[in-house]
Structure 1
Amino acid sequence: MACSENMFFLIGLFMSGVLACFGQRDLIASMPDRLDVLTGSCVQIPCSFDIPDKHKDTFNSAILLSGVWIKEFPYLGERPDSVIFNSTEMVNRYQGKITGNMSQKNCTTVFFNVTTNYTDIYFFRIESQPFLAIDFGKHVYIVVSDLPSSPILTVSGEVKEGTPVSLNCSAVAPCPEHPPELTWTLPTQFTTENQLQENPDQTKSVLSTVTFTPSYLHHEKNITCTAVYPVGTSNKRAEHNMTLNVSFSPKDTSASISPDDPVFVGSCVNLTCSSTANPPVTNFTWFKISEGKTTQVASGQSYTLNVTVGDGGLYYCQARNSHGCGMSNEVQLAIKGHEEPVNPKVFEIVGKTLGLIFLFSLIVFFAWRRRTSRLPSGFDMTDRSQGLVGMNSPVGTVCSNQATVGRGNQ
């Protein structure tokens, strides 16, 4: 019996599709193809309908309209028990209500406290004597789950260092009276904006937009958008994780030399350049500083040379990708048994130091000359000393000076 009913149902759907193709539909209903719902929550079915021209004289919107929802099997003559809701009935198999204005052809309906056995396809029918019609060619598939579906996470444009970027997270809201709350987890400060929006099929969803300015330190860091659905006295959660892909110019560029000790002429020396970048570095360039001049000497991440006398000096590398370049530190290639070129900066520092010392010496010298030029001669000092006898001057000093003068006059 079940097999024959399923066969009849499939044939009926096929015939309804054929009738729809040939414009024989008695009612034109519009509703989503599918709705995903949480157990214990409610579900809102966006619904509207129109009357074909051939029935517009029969249909009277002023007469009380009944909205009827039919589960699985739309042919009431075969399965009258498939009716699960009638808006004019006080008691129905499914608890719900039509929230739309039927006189304006809005049949939006809400069902409450859904359970997993609500999962099925549903057709809509209107009853307004003498007009009765059902749209066999259109139905909504309701899927009831214990866990919510994960929110959808999208990025608007390229995530580039230093450029503000927006991330969007959206979660379906099958029960608009209790929409989900969206929260973010990011490795940096951010601002958010949340709103309940209507989708093209008239279903509802919550959209959360977060704006932040990425750094190269955020590359390959995880971000999370979490949707929390209120269901009764508890909450149900779902989340979406994504790894940030931040584009940035070369960072932490460094040069190394092996061996790093002074080497003999004829030795093999390897210089290596390393850098972090996204996209990866596409070009490495090596430069040498010798006698105050900078010269490009090689390309490539590694630079190997057999040392000659003229190879001594300072080396550094440059790393480049599509977003810019980064310069490394300088490394010294020293050669044993040969005088190494001195960094021009050393001459500059030594010259400035010697200049300061010379200037300081001149200042000290002229200060000393100026002080000594103000002192009287030895003879004048002796005479002044003799004239100071009896003026309470230290006797020893005066006597010493007199004795010296006396010996000189004998």
Structure 2
Amino acid sequence: MACPENMFFLIGLFMSGVLVCFGRDLIVTMPDRLDGLTGSCVQIPCSFDVPEQHKDTFKSTILPSGVWIKGNPYFGGRPDRVIFNSSKLVNTYQGKITGNMSQKNCTTVFFNVTTNYTDKYYFRIESQPFRATDPDKSVEIDVRDLPSSPIITVSGEVKEGVPVSLNCSAVAPCPEHPPELTWTLRTQFTTGNQLQKNPNQTKSVLSMVTFTPSYLHHEQNITCTAVYPVGTSNKTTEHNMMLNVSFSPKNTSASISPADPVLVGSCVNLTCSSTANPPVTNFTWFKISEGKTTMVASGLSYTLNVTVGNGGLYYCEGRNSHGCGKSNEVQLAIKGQEETVNTMASGIAAGTLGALLLISLISLFVWRRNPRLHDGLERTDNSQGQNSPVGTVCANQATAGEEPEKPAVDQPEEIHYGEIDFSKRQTKETPAAAQDRVQGQESEYAEVNVTGRGAQEPPLNNLDGLYAQVNKTGGC
């Protein structure tokens, strides 16, 4: 094989009786590095191209063979460096070219690798009449007893209330036996394991979890675990990541020191605290007085010398770039004011109770002084359709046939009720009347209006000059 005439120097070695020139007669594309796992397989993505001046030679090649050289592309005098040749049945490394060489695909798989496989590897084509090696391109294979840890990535900022996706990827050096990925963050929005091709043609497994974070997720550890099947056992590795969630101020609280009532002129310190990410950049203090809210200060703490007008309710607000949070209300009490307030409250309560008691007594007195409210209605109800005589009258009412007492000079006009038995006015009782009396004595009620004050009143049995209204019941 002739070398280009424009090359400034030529280093040649007789390899298998052929002079090899150190030009790029073959252009190979493959990853710079691969990770392997002891006992598993390693797949090397590989493709090649032939320079224009050698394409005709390559086309005439029948059934090109692929060769892998370990450590150094120049194997003259070191045939042990050739660890695999696809044209041979027995090789140092058990493997297989899975790509179609006629289509310039040299992808190769090595089986049951060990830590001794760790090294650089070069690819070569050996076929008549075309033979070439790419000395400028190699792949470094690193075989370990434990698998590489998966990688967790976040798509965008993790912000409270905004859905976010976390991706976990793990290399799959042996695509025939890819790893299985699981999350410690439990959510129903988790995708299954997907085998995907990377830009360098290697394979990896991807799992994605989507959730809506809250401030409770901040600084929470999440883990993605990769389980690799190796023969009849498994090898496990994991990756931990602490979530950094941005959120508005939470658990904002205000405190006052001293908390007990203080004297005028004392020094009082109010302190505000809040949890936020990023931290709170602005604290503001407010006072509530007579139903109005007024901003009184700014800063993490608020110190004041107490005056009479400082008493009242206070609260604070914390704010960052994501929002604000309001604290609880704290009471600044001043000694002397609370006794006044308590005294006023006690006086109002006592006055109200006294007023209610006085109204009750007045109502009872009026009710007792006006017996018509309760006695008159009761006697009227008792007389309806009853044959028994009325046995009770008012205390100041005269009975029939007796002279009533004289009313007091200043006593107000009263209405008296009396029971008058007209059977006593009859001089002779007829048999029919006697029979009626036996069946039931009839009673008549009269309403007597006593108009004279301080004068002798006529007896009830003298009806001349007496203003009376007689209400006859029972058919009388």
The TM-score normalised by the length of structure 2 is 0.70
Give the conservation status (yes or no) of the 8 Å contact 2:61–2:127.
Answer: no
User: Runs (4+) of structure 1 moved beyond 6 Å?
Assistant: 402-406
Give the conservation status (yes or no) of the 8 Å contact 1:73–1:79.
Answer: no
In structure 1, the partner of 2:253 is 254
Where does 1:5-404 land on structure 2 (aligned, <5 Å)? 24-60=23-59, 63-186=62-185, 190-338=189-337, 382=379, 385=382, 388-390=385-387, 398-401=389-392
Q: 1:181 to 1:296 in 2, by over 3 A?
A: same
In the alignment, the residues of structure 2 paired with residue 38 and residue 52 of structure 1 have an alpha-carbon distance, to the nearest angstrom, of 36
Q: Equivalent residue of 2:59, what SS? A: coil
In the alignment, the residues of structure 2 paired with residue 153 and residue 126 of structure 1 have an alpha-carbon distance, to the nearest angstrom, of 40
Q: 1:409 to 1:186 in 2, by over 3 A?
A: farther
The one-letter code sitting in structure 1 at the alignment partner of 2:79 is P
Q: Equivalent residue of 1:407, what SS? A: coil
Q: 1:188 to 1:254 in 2, by over 3 A?
A: farther
Q: CA deviation at 1:191?
A: 2.3
Give the conservation status (yes or no) of the 8 Å contact 2:25–2:50.
Answer: yes
Give the conservation status (yes or no) of the 8 Å contact 1:291–1:341.
Answer: no
Q: Equivalent residue of 1:55, what SS? A: helix
1:48-79 superposed Cα distances (whole Å, 9 cap, x missing partner): 11111111121126611111111113223221
Q: 1:400 to 1:159 in 2, by over 3 A?
A: same
Q: 1:189 to 1:267 in 2, by over 3 A?
A: farther
Q: 1:403 to 1:319 in 2, by over 3 A?
A: closer
Which ranges in structure 2 are unaligned for 5 or more consecutive residues? 1-10, 13-20, 403-476
Q: 1:307 to 1:379 in 2, by over 3 A?
A: closer
Larger RCO (CA within 8 A; separation ≥ 6)? 1
Q: 1:275 to 1:388 in 2, by over 3 A?
A: same
In the alignment, the residues of structure 2 paired with residue 135 and residue 122 of structure 1 have an alpha-carbon distance, to the nearest angstrom, of 11
In structure 2, the partner of 1:5 is none
Give the conservation status (yes or no) of the 8 Å contact 2:262–2:334.
Answer: yes
Give the conservation status (yes or no) of the 8 Å contact 2:254–2:315.
Answer: yes
Q: Equivalent residue of 1:58, what SS? A: helix
The one-letter code sitting in structure 1 at the alignment partner of 2:157 is E
Give the conservation status (yes or no) of the 8 Å contact 2:39–2:112.
Answer: yes
In the alignment, the residues of structure 2 paired with residue 384 and residue 142 of structure 1 have an alpha-carbon distance, to the nearest angstrom, of 118
Q: Equivalent residue of 1:130, what SS? A: coil
Using the TM superposition, name which of 59-68 and 196-205 deviates more. Answer: 59-68
Identity %: 75
Q: Equivalent residue of 2:191, what SS? A: strand
Give the conservation status (yes or no) of the 8 Å contact 1:187–1:218.
Answer: no
In the alignment, the residues of structure 2 paired with residue 384 and residue 266 of structure 1 have an alpha-carbon distance, to the nearest angstrom, of 75
- Give the paired residue count: 360
Q: 1:291 to 1:378 in 2, by over 3 A?
A: closer
Which ranges in structure 1 are unaligned for 5 or more consecutive residues? 1-10, 13-18, 370-374
In structure 2, the partner of 1:407 is 399
Q: CA deviation at 1:376?
A: 9.3
The one-letter code sitting in structure 2 at the alignment partner of 1:296 is M
Q: Equivalent residue of 1:106, what SS? A: coil
The one-letter code sitting in structure 1 at the alignment partner of 2:145 is D
The TM-score normalised by the length of structure 1 is 0.81
The one-letter code sitting in structure 2 at the alignment partner of 1:141 is E
Give the conservation status (yes or no) of the 8 Å contact 2:194–2:205.
Answer: yes
In the alignment, the residues of structure 2 paired with residue 409 and residue 324 of structure 1 have an alpha-carbon distance, to the nearest angstrom, of 97
Q: Equivalent residue of 1:223, what SS? A: strand
Q: Equivalent residue of 1:78, what SS? A: coil
Q: 1:378 to 1:201 in 2, by over 3 A?
A: closer
Q: Equivalent residue of 2:116, what SS? A: helix
In the alignment, the residues of structure 1 paired with residue 377 and residue 245 of structure 2 have an alpha-carbon distance, to the nearest angstrom, of 89
In the alignment, the residues of structure 1 paired with residue 244 and residue 201 of structure 2 have an alpha-carbon distance, to the nearest angstrom, of 34
Q: Equivalent residue of 2:205, what SS? A: strand
The one-letter code sitting in structure 1 at the alignment partner of 2:106 is C
Q: CA deviation at 1:284?
A: 0.5
User: RMSD of the TM alignment (CA)?
Assistant: 2.9
Using the TM superposition, name which of 377-386 and 189-198 deviates more. Answer: 377-386
Give the conservation status (yes or no) of the 8 Å contact 1:193–1:210.
Answer: no
Q: 1:154 to 1:331 in 2, by over 3 A?
A: same
Q: CA deviation at 1:110?
A: 0.6
In the alignment, the residues of structure 2 paired with residue 290 and residue 379 of structure 1 have an alpha-carbon distance, to the nearest angstrom, of 59
Q: Equivalent residue of 1:310, what SS? A: helix
Using the TM superposition, name which of 53-62 and 193-202 deviates more. Answer: 53-62
In the alignment, the residues of structure 2 paired with residue 199 and residue 384 of structure 1 have an alpha-carbon distance, to the nearest angstrom, of 107
1:193-236 superposed Cα distances (whole Å, 9 cap, x missing partner): 43111111111111111111111011111011111111001111
In the alignment, the residues of structure 2 paired with residue 80 and residue 42 of structure 1 have an alpha-carbon distance, to the nearest angstrom, of 24
The one-letter code sitting in structure 2 at the alignment partner of 1:263 is V
In the alignment, the residues of structure 2 paired with residue 268 and residue 220 of structure 1 have an alpha-carbon distance, to the nearest angstrom, of 39
Q: 1:265 to 1:95 in 2, by over 3 A?
A: same
In the alignment, the residues of structure 2 paired with residue 54 and residue 258 of structure 1 have an alpha-carbon distance, to the nearest angstrom, of 90
The one-letter code sitting in structure 1 at the alignment partner of 2:67 is V
Give the conservation status (yes or no) of the 8 Å contact 1:61–1:103.
Answer: no
